[in-house]
Amino acid sequence: QVQLVESGGGLVQPGGSLRLSCAASGSISTIGGMGWYRQAPGSQRELVARITVGGTTNYADSVRGRFTISRDNAKNTVYLQMNSLKPEDTAVYYCNADITVVKRYGNYWGQGTQVTVSS
């Protein structure tokens, strides 16, 4: 079994910062791409940022220049540093990863962590 556990969400004022973490655990052989998605009330889940094993990144236009995704392959962990937060960044943030377990590929999601940007 594989688990993705997010942490670091919370309430922050506009202009503030938060750092999300997501650690993968279980019978993992390899981890490929990892990423963060978000879903606001009444909206579809959308890509925030993704990072490859080699460190290549891509970002949604709405967060580029404010958010930074990174990963620690030794710890099976992906991070999202969020700066200059805006009220429209309020959403549940989900971690996602491509993981191989004993030659069996799967795409996994975390349980989500709430980020609220409000004064």
pLDDT in tens, 60-76: 999 999 999 999 999 99
What tens digit of pLDDT does each residue of 14-58 get?
Answer: 999 999 999 999 999 999 999 999 999 999 999 999 999 999 999
pLDDT given at position 1: 86
What's the rounded Cα separation, in Å, for the pair 17 and 101?
Answer: 34
Residue 102 has pLDDT above 90, yes or no: no
